[in-house]
Amino acid sequence: MRSHAQANSTLTYLLQAPLLSGDAGDQYNGLDRFGRVVDQRWINGNGTSLDRFTYGYDRNSNRLWRDNLMNASFWELYAYDNLGQLTSMDRGTLNANHTGLSDCPISRLKLPFDTETPRHRFSVPSG
């Protein structure tokens, strides 16, 4: 657990009632069997979620999506190229399978790989 600057808030990956065990069969339901964060909770002293995110990954441990369980408008969907480099991030409401957005993206970030230098150029299209 980790305290946060906001009064009486703590980051936890520990099992919260009524769940019995995490993905790896232990008390850490916030981590999957590979040690990746899958359920991140900021809770108050009563155990009530103040902020909560869940994550999904591909076989290369690239993050594919992020659910903001406190605000569905800020869910995120990520895309990668064949080398596992992040190419885009869309923010909006995810569909039930977490494979696309069910509405128009609120925001979109494209990250084209710059072949001239080993760096990414960041661009945020308007509109």
- Please state the domain extents for the chain: 1-54, 58-127
What 3-state DSSP class applies to 96?
coil
Query: Residue 11 — pLDDT band, cuts 50, 70, 90?
Result: confident
Query: Residue 90 — pLDDT band, cuts 50, 70, 90?
Result: confident
What pTM, to 2 d.p., does this model score?
0.73
